[in-house]
Structure formats: structure tokens, C-alpha cells
Amino acid sequence: MPNRFFDGDDMTLTLCGVELKLLATPGETSDALAVWIPSERILCAGDDIYRSFPNVYPVRGTPPRDLPSWIASLERMMKLDAQGVVPGHTMPFCGAEQSRAALRNYRDALKHIFEATIEGMRQGMGPDELVQTVKLPPHLAVLDDLGEYYGNIAWTVRGIYSACIGWFGNDPLELTTFGAREEALGMVELAGGAAVLADRAREALKRGNAHWASRLAAHLLTLEPENRAYRELKAQTLDAVAESILTATGRNYAYTVAQELRRTED
């Protein structure tokens, strides 16, 4: 457990003859700290920057990170004019030019997504619309250091929406008790029976439309959750969906659910 605490924005201490300045930099976590080494002009930035679009909304179930605080922390770190930035994960950014660009691009990416989402919300857009329209500008989208390897832009947009407004996405149907079972029954009837719906799902999967195939298979599982054929069909669609997801946590989650569907009781 920690045995030393400080209040305010920073604290200076000396370890083994090296002066270190601890900076309160809330971002990926509210208690995040960065370490500034003045003699070397090296910034150890923790998890407030790494070589991926930031993980603003973790799918493991924690609340979305506070983006205004994260942006402010990046701006504070930019003022240090570091000669090197060492992330908590991934390779360092070396040299003043690369360090400045990395911090600036990270700040700009977060700020753009946050402001564009808020503007879309003001225009009455719901989360499903927002994830189709809120993207990084081209000069940031092409940067490998902002690739969606760990964080995901669409999840970030949904996280911002949820944090600001809550679960209601503007569809009046969401205010009723109409649920997954009612929708599944309607889809089966519309298709002409469960067998036909299953065939349509398999055909969609063969055509490469794994997302639609997975949605159709979900209706079948809603009505018959223990049906082995439907479970395998859903698992196959999730395997294919996983291949289309760049973000590691999303891809791994899809594979994990597919494995769970294939698991049988001893």
C-alpha cells in the first residue's frame, strides 16, 4: 500500500540523487500520475498516452474515462517540452519533435471526438447515428499511433453519450417493455419459421455478411438458448465478426463468447 501522499497538482522528491517531479495527471484513471525528470527532460506519462487510440471506454464494464480531465492533463504535459516521452505501455517517443507531436496528436484526437460527439448530441443525434458520423479528421486517422488497437472510437462515442445523457438513445420504443423475445418472435414469423431464419443466417455468413448473420442467429438463440445447432451457428458468426474487429479487447471478447457457446456440460 502507498505510504506517501500529496495534495495538489505536484510534488518534488529526490531518489538516489535524481530529482523527480510527480504530476497529478488524471486521464485513463482519476488517480493517474506522471513523473517528470527535469535533468533529462524525460516525461514518464503512465497510461495517459500510448501507441493506440486511447481506451476511453473499457468493455470490461468500468465507467467511461473523464475526457475533459484527460485532455487537460495532456495539455499540461505538452508545456513541459519533453525530450522524450515514456508511456506505461508500448515504445517511447524519442526526441523533442516526436514527443511534441505525439502529445499534440493524442490531445487533438481526444478533443475532436469529444467535441464532435457533443455537437452531434446537440443536434439531436442518438448513439447509433453518432458512431456513423463521428470520426477522426484525415490527418489524424492516418496515424498508426492512433490506430484502434486498444481503444475504439465508436465505443468512445457511445461512452460519452452514456455519461452525458444515459441509456436512452432517442427511439420511443426504448421507453416501452418491448424486448428481445418479442422481436425474435416477430423475426421468425416474418422469415416464415425458425428453420428459414437459420438458413438465411447461414447464407449471410457465406456471403461474408457476418454481422447480419450474427444478428439473425441471436434471434434464434433468444427463443431457444440451449439449441446446439443455433449455438454453433452463432459461434461461427462471432468467429467471423472477430476477424473484422481491430481493437484487441473487442476481438478477444467475440472469440471468448464463441468459445462459451461451444462449451458443453460434462
Q: How do residues 79-127 score in pLDDT, each as one tens digit?
A: 999 999 999 999 999 999 999 999 999 999 999 999 999 999 999 999 9
- In 3D space, the residue among 226, 258, 224 whose CA is nearest the CA of residue 241 turns out to be 258
Rounded to the nearest 10°, the torsion over CA 9, 15, 19, 21 is -10
Cell for 84? 522524450
Q: Which residue has the cell 508500448?
A: 90
**H helices present in the chain, as ranges:** 67-78, 96-122, 127-133, 138-141, 153-164, 180-191, 194-206, 210-223, 228-243, 248-262
Q: Which residue has the cell 514518464?
A: 44
Q: How do residues 203-230 score in pLDDT, each as one tens digit?
A: 999 999 999 999 999 999 999 999 999 9
| Whole-angstrom distance, CA of residue 58 vs CA of residue 54 | 10
Q: How do residues 159-208 score in pLDDT, each as one tens digit?
A: 999 999 999 988 899 999 999 999 999 999 999 999 999 999 999 999 99
The pLDDT score that the predictor gives to residue 264 is: 76
Given a contact cutoff of 8 angstroms between Cβ atoms, the answer to whether 74 and 48 are in contact is yes
Query: CA quadruple 265, 257, 227, 208: dihedral positive or negative?
Result: negative
List 84's β-bridge partners, or say none. Answer: 42, 94
45, burial (CB in 10 Å: exposed 0-12, middle 13-18, buried 19+): buried
Residues ≥6 apart with Cβ < 8 Å to 99: 43, 82, 83, 84, 85, 93
Would you list the DSSP string of 178-234? --HHHHHHHHHHHHTSHHHHHHHHHHHHHTT-HHHHHHHHHHHHHH-TT-HHHHHHH
Query: How many whole angstroms from its chain centre is CA 17?
Result: 40
SS3 category, 19 = strand
Model confidence at 8: pLDDT above 70: yes
| Whole-angstrom distance, CA of residue 114 vs CA of residue 103 | 17
The model scores a pTM over 0.85: yes
SS3 category, 6 = coil
Model confidence at 266: pLDDT above 90: no
The pLDDT score that the predictor gives to residue 265 is: 61
